[in-house]
């Protein structure tokens, strides 16, 4: 039962995962939305920026963006607007180095860095009147949400009631290998360009085992993770990083109602990224995997119009 049939009806002209994903990324603009920024300290003497839309509500939703995105990404802004219209307060977390200002420490973010998620969750609960805290993660942010929920298990703060993830790569190795294929080079190169630039700028002011030239030489995401992510965070190599941080293995421990919305034509993923086996008999985690939808797409009619992912998330959180 927890693998559920989707009601999403993809527009006929978007039944190609690449076109769907690119259309959502390029053609959607979400105006009429103003964030207020809060900067919080981390235990390692660094900072995280949270962008808020506050309502007179004791229900708060924490949003976590994907790889090399930010609170200004159209899907974060779209979800924020949809939630705010239903009177939720929204906290859009910016991962380290993604808020427009580089962090003070050498460490960056990565797909399994749930310590920063925990820092933000604890801050929200300590500093706000909150009866219900819900989590929504997109892509890499979705992996963080599932991993965080699974790590906490039954020890989650009692205010955390529900979660939604959209286009989440439950197998990081499969996702990286798919993006490193020739057909996906446009996405890969876009990510690699900014990842390498940020990594190179970080090591100028910190001691690090790899040289700037070595990091900039990375031609694939796996090479980047071998040269930078793995040694920075104490993994043996990229494969060890992917193995330890892929969210699929944490799903079995999730204790709150959680929706995973991922399309089967997501151009970033292979079939291994969809956790059918992990969700099939799970009492709390529900997988909705429509045939179409692209990556963080799920356009309802036109790219500048309604989005099924937002309607579905609202339905899940309110029900």
Q: So which residues are the catalytic ones?
A: 139, 266, 295
Q: In terms of C-beta density within 10 A (0-12 exposed, 13-18 middle, 19 or more buried), how is residue 163 classed?
A: buried
> Whose CA is closest to 45, among 110, 105, 119, 109?
105
102's CB contacts (< 8 A; 6+ apart) are: 198, 201, 202
Q: How far apart are CA 243 and CA 87, in angstroms?
A: 39
Strands (E), the chain: 3-4, 36-41, 47-53, 59-64, 89-94, 132-138, 160-166, 258-261, 285-288
Q: How far apart are CA 284 and CA 252, in angstroms?
A: 9
Give φ, ψ of 89 to 5 degrees: -85, 145
Please give the full DSSP string across 114-165, using - where no structure is assigned.
Answer: HHHHHHHHHHHHHHS--SEEEEEEETHHHHHHHHHHHHHGGGS-TTEEEEEE
Q: How far apart are CA 68 and CA 108, in angstroms?
A: 11
Tokens at 186, concatenated: 């446009």
CA angle 111, 37, 196 (to 5 degrees): 35
């Amino acid at each position: 039962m927890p693998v559920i049939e989707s009601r999403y009806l993809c527009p006929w002209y978007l039944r190609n995962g690449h076109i769907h994903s690119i259309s959502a990324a390029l053609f959607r603009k979400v105006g009429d939305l103003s964030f207020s920024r809060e900067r919080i300290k981390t235990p390692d003497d660094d900072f995280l920026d949270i962008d808020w839309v506050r309502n007179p509500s004791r229900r708060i939703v924490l949003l976590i963006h994907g790889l090399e995105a930010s609170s200004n990404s159209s899907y974060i802004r779209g979800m924020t607007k949809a939630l705010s219209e239903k009177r939720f307060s929204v906290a859009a977390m910016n991962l380290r180095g993604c808020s427009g200002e580089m962090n003070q420490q050498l460490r960056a973010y990565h797909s399994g860095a749930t310590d920063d998620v925990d820092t933000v969750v604890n801050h929200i609960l300590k500093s706000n009147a909150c009866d219900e805290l819900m989590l929504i993660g997109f892509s890499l942010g979705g992996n963080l949400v599932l991993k965080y929920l699974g790590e906490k298990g039954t020890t989650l703060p009692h205010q955390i009631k529900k979660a939604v993830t959209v286009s989440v790569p439950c197998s990081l190795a499969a996702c990286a290998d798919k993006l490193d294929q020739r057909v996906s080079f446009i996405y890969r190169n876009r990510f690699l360009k900014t990842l390498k630039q940020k990594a190179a700028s970080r090591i100028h002011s910190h001691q690090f085992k790899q040289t700037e030239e070595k990091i900039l030489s990375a031609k694939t995401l796996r090479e980047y993770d071998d040269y930078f992510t793995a040694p920075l965070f104490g993994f043996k190599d990229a494969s060890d990083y992917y193995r330890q941080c892929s969210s699929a293995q944490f799903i079995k421990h999730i204790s709150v109602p959680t929706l995973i919305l991922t399309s089967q034509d997501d151009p970033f993923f292979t079939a291994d990224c969809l956790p059918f086996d992990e969700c099939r008999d799970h009492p709390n985690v529900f997988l909705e995997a429509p045939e179409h939808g692209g990556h963080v797409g799920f356009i309802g009619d036109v790219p500048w119009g309604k989005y099924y992912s937002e309607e579905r998330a609202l339905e899940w959180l309110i029900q």
